[in-house]
Amino acid sequence: MKKAISLLMSLILLAFSLCSCKSEEDEWAEKVAEYRANKMAIFESENAQYADNEVDVAFLGDSLTDGYDVAAYYPQYTVSNRGIGGDTTLDLEGRLKASVYDLKPKVAVMLIGANNFDTMMENYENILRGFVENLPNTRIILLSLTSMGGEHWGKNNQIAAYNNVKIKLLAEKYSFEYVDLYSPLLNLEDGEIYDEYTTDGGHLTAQGYEVLTREITPAIERQLSAWALENK
């Protein structure tokens, strides 16, 4: 009898534990959904405020873009941050209309893939085709994946470097500009991102964003100049 009661109590505790975990997961999922919905609402509101080609540069991506204070780093331009933390290439593809098609910036800068390294190339080119079809008057800059470090992120450096080769080839195929962010952040001595450039191995410090800005700015200048020549 005691064994039966003990087994029953164990099952009850297990069930309670599973329910608690599920509740926490549901709560987290709700917060993520709410955050995404709020971001999309901001995008749509901005789209209504700006005329076509009024925005000089739109930045597309995941948390690396979401956490990038583009207005502070690019005060010389009218810019818009269209990053959403946690996004995969699939997530970005699904929100392109509100994120960039309806905005119609002069230049769009994209950094995406860190949340689905293994599958990002399955639809990466779909995103590029969407740019060609829906933004014929927008110049495109593709950013490489960054180098990473630490136990969680550092293991992804090899596949990131491999995918960067593919991104560069696609940039050439579609006549988009490609910017390498992997190498400037990489400490060749240990094969990982410099400690001062990252908060956790995957996300960037202010110093890390300064490196990104230094690498991206010349490309933006070139593409804005090209846009101006094409739209005299």
Instruction: Take residue 26 and report the two structure tokens written for it.
Output: 């549901």
Whether the per-residue pLDDT at 76 is higher than 80: the answer is yes
Q: Grade residue 8 by pLDDT with cuts at 50, 70 and 90.
A: very low
Is the pLDDT reported for residue 11 higher than 90? no
Q: Could you report how far apart the first and last alpha carbons of the chain are, in Å?
A: 89
pLDDT on residue 18? 53
Give me the pLDDT at residue 17, please: 55
Q: Mean pLDDT over residues 185-197, rounded?
A: 97
Residues 145-156: pLDDT tens digits?
999 999 999 999
Residue 26 is predicted with a pLDDT of 86
- Chain center to CA of 30: 21
Please tell me the least confidently modeled range out of 15-24, 45-54, 184-193: 15-24
Q: Which CATH architecture has domain 52-230?
A: 3-Layer(aba) Sandwich (3.40)
H helices within the chain, ranges in order? Answer: 2-49, 63-66, 70-73, 89-94, 96, 124-134, 150-153, 157-174, 182-185, 206-230
Q: Which candidate, 50, 53, 55, places its Cα nearest to that of 71?
A: 55
Question: How much is the pLDDT for 29?
Answer: 85
Q: What is the structure's pLDDT at 25?
A: 81
Using 50, 70 and 90 to split pLDDT, how confident is the model at 27? Answer: confident
pTM score, whole prediction:
0.89
In this predicted structure, the answer to whether residue 95 has a pLDDT above a threshold of 90 is yes
In angstroms, the CA 232 to CA 230 distance is 6
In this prediction, residue 4 carries a pLDDT of 47
And the tokens for 204? 């960037």
Q: What is the reported pLDDT for 129?
A: 98
Give the mean pLDDT of the chain: 92
Q: How confident is the model at residue 28 (pLDDT cuts 50, 70, 90)?
A: confident
